Amino acid sequence: MSCHVLLRRLMLFLTIFCSPMLLKADPPKVDPYISKSYFTSIPFGAHSYWLQPWRAYMETVPAVDFVKGVGINLGGTVKNPDLIAEMLAKYGFRHLRIEIGWVSLDYDTEQIPPAVANNYRKILLACKKYNIRPLILLNGNSGAPCPVRFFNKVLAAPAHKGDREVQVTDVDGIIPGYSGISNLTDYWAAEALVIAIHGNTLVLSKPLPKDLGDSGASISMATLKYRPFSVPGSDDDRRTLAGWQHYVGTVARFVAQTLGTVGTKDLGFDMEIWNELSFGSHFLYINQYYDPPIYHYNEDAVWGDVVRATADYAEQHPAEFQGVALCDGFSNTIPWPASSQEPARVIALSKHPYHGRSNYPQDEQHGVLVNALGQQEPVGAFEPHFSALFPEYFATALQTECLERDAGPITNDIYRVAHGRYARVIDGHIVPCYTWITEVNMAPNEQGITDRRQALMLKAKTTARYLCFLLNKGIRRIYFFAALGGDLGLGLLQDNFLAYANTHTAYPADDRAYVSPALQVVHRIVMKMQEGLDPSLVKTRPLAVLSWKGGEQQKVFVGDGSPAHPDLTYHDLFTFLPYQVNQHRFVIPYYVMTYDVVAPFKQETFVVKIGGVEGVQTQAFIYDPFSDNTIPVHVIARDVSSITVAMPAEDYPRLLILQER
């Protein structure tokens, strides 16, 4: 038999017997759009350039939650808050964060003085007039942490760096343990406390960090109503916590009286407990007023103590806190506070996910690296080169402290403490603890942008991305910082409108020249969410991305060609965020989550198969809130449970609208 015949028979054998086996083999692995492992593969302390925690879950969020979730900080003082509130309300803002600090209380009466109350009253009444809900920030910034008396004294002798005693011409009004020299290294009242007085000599709790001057020089001093928070259970700490509770009640009563809501089921405001720990929080730690420290204890315990004291006061005075939601502000800049440890009266953790530009590999985070296969590697196993500046930074795994650890529905551990939206269990029942973002934004001038129009358009893009993304991924409220702040800076209100508001008392008959692009875009998205809105919709229908194509050619960074270290492309960053308006209408913001919002973007078309809709009976539209135009959408296929569409995508949210007949 010839070799050719043998070869033909061998080929026939392979065709008959091997081809079915090949047909039955598993198809090439294709990563799903949603996989829990994108989050669970990244333990706390690890990070990843490839895995996207925000793609660990997809929830169809009631559109009413978007409409109710838009808020802002004022960010400064204004002459006519009525006009500011009117514009904010007109363009979709429902919440305003207002700080009424502990120092607002008078030292002697521990009430809000009339002049101070009048300033707050104007802002609160403007909120009431335009149906904006105030969030009252309760805070004790160490520059003026509690009721305080500020005064000056005159040196009777030179005071030098390192001195622990200071001579003054008189000691009237100085109270040991409560009075001290201020602003030695920081904006800090009574930074070096007076611990004893001998004649006209003041004995200090710490050595002077600098020279104060010669005889006759004036020094700034303050007397605190309360001692800094101290050892839990100590007399000092009990008195200070009691003072804090009195402050909480005083502010709550003042706000309710101003809003005219006393005795109602919902007093119409909420409260945030403390601001960022990253600055102005010396008053939380008595040891920071002493050198060397005078006590040894877990200083961080005060965070929970203050939250519990606030929650306890609200529980004990229900009439003063009807409908008032409390959120824990100690979590603003740290990952440790957890939903599982929050009192039942606290309904949310709050976060401030500010992040500037990161350049890689220089800004590589220390810790374990998780590759694209979900495997842990040592730092330095792969070093990508790219620059990152984008609103969703803390929803990725570029940094281990991702928002999904607290805002998401997946319960997870951080050092054996349960985190996540549903991690809190009280009396055997899950009691959700949500996440609010009470400050966030990006300033164009911090990126070297000096062109006003470019700055305004950049803020429109980032504002839309923050809102559409975060309100879909578990954040219940977003308060931008801020209304004021400048066209080139953080301000969302245009400078020309602020100038108008300072010189007029009536809102402009035609406000188009005064409305920033950011406000225009927010308004347009809110209006689409409101079309046909069912405000009672709670149980939504889950949608799914069954397949998607597009974005493979545009890259964030180039990998090394291995499955563990592939390219990161715009295909990986296609963002699909479903909201449900009513039983048969969905509004779905979608875009490419570019990692550099300043860089130019080339439009990509994605072909997406969407499951969970009655495809045969569904009409599809695309609306662009930036151009205020409808864009043609190509429906490629339909069936009873899905629809496949081709969608042109930008690096800002467009809205895919699905309407079932």
Q: Where are the alpha helices (DSSP H) in 211-281?
A: 235-259
pLDDT value of residue 30:
59
pLDDT value of residue 27:
39
Instruction: Say if residues 470 and 512 touch (Cβ distance below 8 Å).
Output: no
Average pLDDT over residues 502-506: 96
- Residue 633 to residue 623: CA distance in whole angstroms: 10
Per-residue pLDDT reduced to its tens digit, 478-496: 999 999 999 999 999 999 9
Residue 189 reports pLDDT greater than 90: yes
pLDDT value of residue 324:
98
Residue 8 reports pLDDT greater than 60: no
Least confident range from 20-24, 260-264, 387-391: namely: 20-24
Residue 255 reports pLDDT greater than 80: yes
- pLDDT category at 22 given cuts 50, 70, 90 is very low
Q: Which residues contact 257 (CB under 8 A, 6 or more apart)?
A: none
pLDDT value of residue 21:
29
Do the strands 46-47 and 368-370 form a parallel or antiparallel pair, or are they unpaired? parallel
Residue 7 reports pLDDT greater than 70: no
Do the strands 585-592 and 574-576 form a parallel or antiparallel pair, or are they unpaired? antiparallel
How much of the chain exceeds pLDDT 90, in percent? 94
- Residue 29 to residue 270: CA distance in whole angstroms: 49
Residue 397 reports pLDDT greater than 70: yes
- Residue 224 has φ and ψ, to the nearest 5°, of -85, 140
pLDDT value of residue 632:
87
- Residue 340 to residue 420: CA distance in whole angstroms: 8
Mind spelling out the 3-state secondary structure of 469-508? HHCCCCEEEEEECCCCCHHHHHCCCCHHHHHHHCCCCCCC
Average pLDDT over residues 93-122: 98
Q: Is 246 helix (H, G, I), strand (E, B) or coil?
A: helix
Mind spelling out the 3-state secondary structure of 569-620? ECCCCEEECCEEEECCEEEEEEEECCCECCCCCCCEEEEEEEECCCHHHEEE
How much of the chain exceeds pLDDT 70, in percent? 95
- pLDDT category at 1 given cuts 50, 70, 90 is very low
CA-atom Rg of the chain in angstroms? 29
- Residue 631 to residue 622: CA distance in whole angstroms: 5
- Mean pLDDT across the chain: 94
Please name which of 263, 186, 193 lies closest in space to residue 228, comparing C-alpha atoms: 193
CA atoms within 13 A on the CB side of 567: 10
Per-residue pLDDT reduced to its tens digit, 505-562: 999 999 999 999 999 999 999 999 999 999 999 999 999 999 999 999 999 999 999 9
Q: Which residues contact 418 (CB under 8 A, 6 or more apart)?
A: 338, 339, 340, 411, 412
DSSP notation for 147-200: SEEEEEEEBSS-B-TT-SEEEBS--TT--TTTEEE--SSSS-TTSEEEEEEETT
Residue 293 reports pLDDT greater than 90: yes
pLDDT value of residue 28:
39
Do the strands 179-181 and 192-198 form a parallel or antiparallel pair, or are they unpaired? antiparallel
Per-residue pLDDT reduced to its tens digit, 598-618: 999 999 999 999 999 999 999
Average pLDDT over residues 37-54: 97
pTM for the whole structure: 0.94
Instruction: Say if residues 598 and 447 touch (Cβ distance below 8 Å).
Output: yes
Buried b vs exposed e over 405-426: b needs ≥16 C-beta within 10 Å?
Answer: bbbbebbbebeeebbbbbbbee
pLDDT value of residue 14:
31
Buried b vs exposed e over 218-245: b needs ≥16 C-beta within 10 Å?
Answer: ebbbbbbbbbbbbbeeeebbeebbebbb
- Residue 52 to residue 67: CA distance in whole angstroms: 27
